[in-house]
Amino acid sequence: MCDLPLQGGRRAAEGCLVVQCARCGHGGHVAHIRAWWRHPKVTGCPKGCDCKCIY
């Protein structure tokens, strides 16, 4: 998802902030994780392991 070129030839992946759950180890880009947990029907980890993630 963050492989699109940016100004100056850098890849977006070089500037993306990534977070990882302290319990299950799953994670992702901050913007994607925030969007996931904002969804009203979300109850667990984005990877489906049912963890109540701590970021």
Q: For the chain, give the longest Cα–Cα distance.
A: 40
Average pLDDT, the chain: 80
The pLDDT of residue 25 is above 90: yes
The pLDDT confidence band at residue 1, using thresholds 50, 70 and 90, is very low
Instruction: Give the pLDDT score at 7.
Output: 53
Please indicate whether residue 36 or residue 2 has the higher confidence score (pLDDT): 36
Are the C-beta atoms of 47 and 20 separated by less than 8 Å? no
* Structure tokens given for 35: 């969007």
Q: Which helix (H) or strand (E) holds 10?
A: none
Domain residue spans of the chain: 17-55
Give tens-digit pLDDT for 2-21: 555 555 555 555 567 889 99
